[in-house]
Amino acid sequence: MSLTQRLIEYVSACFTGIWIQSAEHEDALREIARMCRDQDWRLATWDVDRGLQIPGGEQPADAGGNDPLAAIRAINALAGPDSSALLVLSNFHRFMQSAEIVQALASQITAGKQNRTFIVVLSPIVEIPTELEKQFVVLEHDLPGRDQLEELARGIATEEGELPEGDALETVLDAAAGLTRYEAEGAFSLSLVRHSEINPEAIWELKSGMLKKSGLLSLHRGSEKFDDLGGLESLKSFCLRAMRQQGHRDPLRRPRGVMLLPPPGCGKSQFAKSLGNETGRPTLILDVGALMGSLVGATEANIRKALQIIDAMAPCVCLIDEVEKALSGAASSGSTDSGVSARLFGTLLTWMNDRTSDVFLTCTCNDISKLPPEFSRAERFDGIFFVDLPGTRGRRQIWNIYIDMFGLDVKQAKPVDADWTGAEIKSCCRLAALLDVPLVEAAQNVVPVARTAHEAVEGLRTWASGRCLSADHAGLYTRNPNTGTVKPGRKVRRVDPSNN
């Protein structure tokens, strides 16, 4: 339902205090003015720069210039016996700290029931004083949809060949989703100037600026691909198949994401960054620790803002790395931080469960026992994968990748690499290039995590056996606790109810 339709309903029902949250005041004012003309309602607008303005009418003698109190009182002069009158106050949240203005608004909203005058506050945020909370209803001015974005693009790209068609146009509209009309026009124009056509690159550049302004998220702009990541064949196949399926326009069919449970250094973060490049999506990195604010309510406001930005950046991949370190204290929050961690965790859970945006969430965790159980339940993720230490085939692929990357001799002998992670293989190759020594000699400086944290790695493997999907083989991760051997993934058994 559009803003105009909702406003007509609320005015007809005589809600005399209406707060509209909008990032595009001019566009919202145009919609309201068009509605008032169609409904034959009187309209007045006020802002601190131009004061009281009455489109198509004379300014009342007692308007008071840019005095907000005078503007509130002047609305009564516009009311007619058979017509409603609306006063739109732009960015009026800046004046809500004044007791006189709060009292004047309360009195006018009450009086508006009799003379059908309506106070409409237009603001980018919702900050209603406690005294007025029960007198205002809140509406949201939606960002432009795909049809409006396409109309804007066609209005700017008027020459042949400037606007792509088919799937290329859908990619452009995906990139522009979440932008205001003003931002979309700027991004389309910038793309035309730079590339002589509209393409997603300039749009993503503008969106990355949104992240820098917030300071809550970072946009990964690397060039990693799955070819640079050895092993993890089942995980790669699962994610690509889920994200490349048709029908993602339907929110009910969109993939939700995966949780990765590996020992340190097994490529979990690199996988998330590579996934974005493989699917043509940007990868956003959310640092939960950066959301913590020093002021009361700042943390809660930060997480809500960050999640709104993530939704606006869709379609995208969102990475929350080592999530257990940020959320492990949520269950016991209260005595130490006045419940801030618990509220942050609750907001994140609600978003994970209820979001309809096309965001593929990738969380990594080194110790799932520190996470509250509700975080990993069904419908939060499409799957929980255990990323084990790479096997023989996976290590061979990783050696080839990093030997080529560092320009080393392919034919030289390799060290004994049983239970090495990908990070340790990379470290060995880097040290060999740095010190100009053979790989076998460089390996003397590498102590694998399977040795330094043997108990933790074995405990993680034992916990994951039979509980997590295998990142290397289709099906469940299964490991013999006595021999330490890993079996190929065991398929999940499905039971036919008719056989009961």
pLDDT single digits (tens) 193-238 = 988 889 888 888 887 777 777 777 888 877 788 887 877 888 889 9
pTM above 0.85, yes or no: no
CB of 299 closer than 8 Å to CB of 166: no
Kindly list the structural domains of the chain, giving each domain's residue range(s) and its CATH number in brackets, ordered by start: 3-140 (3.40.50.300), 146-214 (no CATH), 226-386 (3.40.50.300), 392-452 (no CATH)
Task: Select the highest-mean-pLDDT range: 99-108, 318-327, 366-375.
Answer: 99-108
**Confidence category of residue 498, pLDDT binned at 50, 70, 90:** very low
The Cα-based distances of 88 to 130, 202, 226, 291, 448 in angstroms read 21, 35, 53, 34, 66
Residue 493 pLDDT > 50: no
Q: So what's the pLDDT on residue 436? A: 92
**Confidence category of residue 496, pLDDT binned at 50, 70, 90:** very low
Residue 316 pLDDT > 60: yes
CB of 427 closer than 8 Å to CB of 446: yes
Q: So what's the pLDDT on residue 356? A: 83
Q: So what's the pLDDT on residue 261? A: 87
Q: So what's the pLDDT on residue 33? A: 92
Q: So what's the pLDDT on residue 335? A: 46
What is the mean pLDDT of the segment spanning 417-421?
87
What is the mean pLDDT of the segment spanning 403-431?
90
Neighbours of 402 (CB within 10 A): 22
**Confidence category of residue 487, pLDDT binned at 50, 70, 90:** low
Q: How many residues does the chain have?
A: 500
Strands of the sheet containing 42-47, edge to edge, are 51-53, 42-47, 85-90, 117-123, 17-21, 137-140
What is the mean pLDDT of the segment spanning 120-147?
89
User: What percent of the chain lies above the pLDDT cut of 70?
Assistant: 88
487: left (phi over 0), alpha (psi -120 to 50) or beta: beta
pLDDT digits 0-9 by tens, 175-191: 888 788 888 898 899 89
CA-to-CA distance for 327 and 369, rounded, in angstroms? 11
Q: So what's the pLDDT on residue 494? A: 42
